[in-house]
Amino acid sequence: MFVALIAGLAVGAAAQAWPNPAFRGAIVAIEPVGTMWVNGIRMTVVPLVASLLVVGVASGMDVRTVGRLGGRALLFFALVLSGAALICGAIGPPLMAGVPVDPAAIAPLRSGAAGAAAATAETVRAMPTFTQWLVDAVPTNPVRAAADGAMLPLVVFSLALGAAVTRIAPERRNAVVDLLRGVSDAMLVLVRWLIILAPAGVFALTATLAMRMGLGAAGAVAYYIGMMVLLCTVVGLGLYVVATIGGRVSLARFARAVAPAQAVAVSSRSSLAALPTLIDGARDRLGLPPAITGFALPLSVSLFRLNTPVTWTVAIPFLARLHGIELGFADVASLMATSVLVSFSVPGIPSAGLFLIAPALVSYGIPVEGIGMLIAVDAIPDIFKTLLNVTGQMTAAVVLARHAPPPEATPEPV
């Protein structure tokens, strides 16, 4: 997959530099291969998550164990998010103070951002508030939540269903568990087939992206992209240290386990699409228990998005610099704290964290139209942000496995 990734980037860059219609047409023609591969990964997510959660709660995990593990997971998320916010808050704003600002050069960027303002404002209005997000966590229609790919409501419903299954007659409980265990096993087999096909999908996606993206971001925008990539990389490398020390797993073993999911994340820009390969790596390469692969990982993908503090501490100071607005210590501290809280309500769509910074921009006197410019150049940063999310989710799994509460003694199904 790594070879396919490098080859796709090289071929796409060559097509951009050499505007041959036949060459570019060939790359466009293979784009559906990548889209079909990502769709194949996505189609396994809902049945895999739902079946693993129900089976885990109904056949092995005591409800109290689930509650304690969930509490520890949320505590871990909050601690790591806060650490990332502190690191990036100390590094990001000073780096953004050095953004080269040429008024003539950035005038077209501001103009383009203003043109995207209406669409951005409409998207911001459609974003749920934290209260609405909390209410929506309990789905009125779990089938619709599954169809929409809304992971948190699906997780809540699956946990409730698994708890309810433990209260029915043993023979009926066993029938439900056996059926859903068969579904989860079949989904994991399907995931392995898709991993075999991954080089073709990765190549098609990265070649198309590299051909279309271009080198248009220069000066200030290139500086912003570079700093975003740098901070994502710094925080990501720190996660390897957390995994090896906190999870007591060797660096090489952790790297091998998370690499397939990282390849999916880079090519699809979706941590949700990487969930099946995360589960496969955690179970088969790291030997993590069902409580982790069936509960903690889906919960992590639903709630733990480590890129949010990085995005906020780079994007907001960057826009402030472009518009000549200075952020004081109190401003930086408030955006760091807010980024941690907001990260739990970021929807699973590309560049979602950028939409959610709109209220913060208004509070600092920064024109909201700048979001449109950031979204326009978010192709490269979003790759690294998704990579950071996936690495953080696997790190959470190994640390939680090391410190997970022991399961309650429960009778085996008969």
Report the amino acid identity of residue 93: P
**Out of 57-66, 288-297, 376-385, least confident range:** 57-66
When pLDDT is averaged across residues 245-260 and rounded to a whole number, the result is 92
CA 263/CA 276 separation, integer angstroms: 12
C-alpha distances (whole Å) from 214 to each of 9, 32, 217 are 12, 21, 8
Tokens 């219609």, located at residue: 21
- Looking at residue 105, its pLDDT comes to 46
pLDDT at 219 over 70: no
Q: Render pLDDT for 355-402 as a digit per residue (tens, 0 to 9).
A: 667 667 777 777 766 665 676 667 788 889 989 999 999 999 999 988
Average pLDDT, the chain: 78
- Looking at residue 370, its pLDDT comes to 65
Closest listed residue to residue 206, CA positions, set 6, 406, 3:
6
When pLDDT is averaged across residues 288-313 and rounded to a whole number, the result is 84
Tokens 């789905």, located at residue: 139
Which contiguous run of DSSP H or E holds residue 97?
A: none
CA 222/CA 235 separation, integer angstroms: 20
pLDDT at 222 over 60: yes
pLDDT at 15 over 70: yes
Coil, helix or strand for 409?
A: coil
pLDDT band at 59 (very low <50, low <70, confident <90, very high): low
* Residue bearing the bigger pLDDT, 406 or 136: 136
When pLDDT is averaged across residues 195-199 and rounded to a whole number, the result is 80
Collect all residues with Cβ–Cβ distance below 8 Å to 195 and sequence separation of at least 6: 260, 277, 280
Q: Under a CB-based contact definition with an 8 Å cutoff, are residues 312 and 338 in contact?
A: yes
Query: What does the DSSP assignment read for 254-318?
Result: HHHHHHHHHHHHHHH--TTTTHHHHHHIIIIIS---HHIIIIIHHHHHHH--THHHHHHHHHHHH
Which contiguous run of DSSP H or E holds residue 6?
A: helix 2-17
Q: Under a CB-based contact definition with an 8 Å cutoff, are residues 92 and 313 in contact?
A: yes
When pLDDT is averaged across residues 138-160 and rounded to a whole number, the result is 79
CA 139/CA 126 separation, integer angstroms: 18
* Residue bearing the bigger pLDDT, 318 or 218: 318
Q: Render pLDDT for 95-116 as a digit per residue (tens, 0 to 9).
A: 887 776 655 545 544 454 444 4
